[in-house]
Amino acid sequence: MNSDTTDQTDVVEFLSDPQTHGIDTPVELVTTHSAYVFLAGDFAFKIKRAVKYNYLDFSTLDTRRKVIAHELALNAPAAPAIYDRVVTITREGPGRLALDGKGKPVEYALRMHRFRREDELTSIADAGNLTNDLAEKLGHVIAGLHAAAERRSSDGAVLIGEIIEELREALGPMESTLGEDRLAVYFSQVDQAFGDVASLLSQRSGEGRVRRCHSDLHLKNLVMIDGQPVPFDALEFDERLGTCDTFYDFAFLVMDLLHRGLTEQANVLQNSYLGKSRDFSGLATLPLFLSIRAAIRCMVAVQSMSGAVAGEIARDAQSYLDQATGFLSPSPPRLAAIGGLSGTGKTTIAVRIAPGLGPSPGAVHLRSDLERKAMFGVEPLVRLPQEAYRSEANREIYARLLNEAEQVLLAGHSVIIDATFLAGSDREAIGELAARLRVPFDGIWLNSDPATLERRIASRTADASDADRDVLRAQLKRGPGPVAWTEIDASGEPEQVAELVRATLSKV
């Protein structure tokens, strides 16, 4: 069903009038399938349209009041700079309305502080300005959002099973656009993938991973405020749809980046999120979750087809379905290690090659510098005392790295460990892990001359590494001993070195 059930003409006219807001510039009206948004001066006012669809019902004033209040409660904690309060629109007499008047309420509006459209992450991405640094911030923000989200008791497997069935019902009539064979292949594979992780999804429910999430977490619903990405416009109209596995919530944003070709940023986002959430087991769900998110985008694209752009939208929908199918055939996991003295560029190279290793969005990058800071409970840029680098601490760091790598590999994902690996025993241990788990292993050893290493260390800013020239000189004096890994000259530009490493990895 799709119908307007109440005449809101007078309210729309009232909120569209600049005099209502005490401004002398036109009010811009944005209409969506379920809301009217009035952009007036420094504020935006949103009212729910009095509509009734098969998936939502805003046909009564009391329902719209509750939904508007719920939208404020959902979004204000994460976006206090945007969400202000609920405003009551009252009738003060024949043909006369007011904001928060004394008359009878006729509508309820959510008042929000406006932001610049160029600060939306879609605009930033379109301009080519969504950097790795921004992707890293995003991962931290989303992990924090999930940590604060309310836990729910719903079975994660049941929730995903229902979504797959709804997709099957919705996409079935779209065969003429998407292709009967293409759809048959997709649903055959998605059913298999769901069966493979159903028990894990139920298990994650018991572990508190099913929460009241944002549930519409893509670039369009993120904006930069005071240098930080802020999520807004969480799904408010259906608590069932708003309740999901945190990794399913996260997967929407990863898929959005991948569809835009921002593969390195998607990988950085993944690693930033995991660094805060430590939810390595969730990686086993990622191929299925990415696939479902892409299939939903496919469905929405077909539903929006009309007019002269229908052909272009159809091609976009088909690309989403192809992407959804591709996620369900991930490459097998593998383990790589990048070692070398401080200043050889281990982290720089790991970031560049990680997106191309293993299932989307690429390898999990485990960095000893970050692991050490986490172990001692400090932020990445806080310098640690010398005691944090004693042999006992080093042994624990490498043990933690191997433990996390094993979790990731068992979840079907690839891993890159970035550490000095100066001790031959540490190099042997990581090779033994790969052998025990029966995954391919590559050990890469980066070399460069001492002068280059000193210059690089001296030029570092805002880096988690505490290594200085004294540390480097101690490493040079100690040396790594015989190295059986593939040695690569790291003196060149980062992309040149990364290409040499990729060439080595492609031989496996």
Q: Where are the domains of the chain?
A: 2-114, 121-327, 335-505
Quickly list DSSP for 264-296: HHHHHHHHHHHHHH--GGGGGGHHHHHHHHHHH
Query: In the chain, which residues have pLDDT < 70?
Result: 1-5, 305-309, 507-508
Q: What is the pLDDT of residue 306?
A: 65
Domains 121-327 and 335-505 share a fold: no
Label residue 323 exposed, middle or buried (CB < 10 Å: 0-12, 13-18, 19+).
buried
Give the three-class secondary structure for 132: helix
> Can you name the CATH fold of 121-327?
Aminoglycoside 3'-phosphotransferase; Chain: A, domain 2 (3.90.1200)
CA distance 308 to 357: 40
Give the three-class secondary structure for 123: helix
Structure tokens at 454: 């000193």
CA distance 445 to 185: 43
Overall size of the chain counted in residues = 508
Give the three-class secondary structure for 381: coil
CATH superfamily of 335-505: P-loop containing nucleotide triphosphate hydrolases (3.40.50.300)
Q: What is the pLDDT of residue 390?
A: 86
CA distance 246 to 243: 9
Spell out the residues 6+ positions from residue 298 whose beta carbon is closer than 8 angstroms to its own: 171, 178, 317, 318, 320, 321, 324
Determine contact, residues 111/84, Cβ cutoff 8 Å: yes
Instruction: Name the DSSP letter for residue 150.
Output: P
Q: What is the pLDDT of residue 313?
A: 80
CA distance 82 to 68: 15
Measured at the CA of 302, the angle between CA 301 and CA 307, to 5 degrees, comes to 95
Phi, psi for residue 491 in degrees, rounded to 5: -80, -20
Determine contact, residues 228/142, Cβ cutoff 8 Å: no
For residue 353, give the nearest of 337, 330, 372 by alpha carbon. 337
Residue whose pair of structure tokens reads 């591709």 in the numeric block: 326
Q: What is the pLDDT of residue 424?
A: 95
Instruction: Determine if the pTM surpasses 0.85.
Output: yes
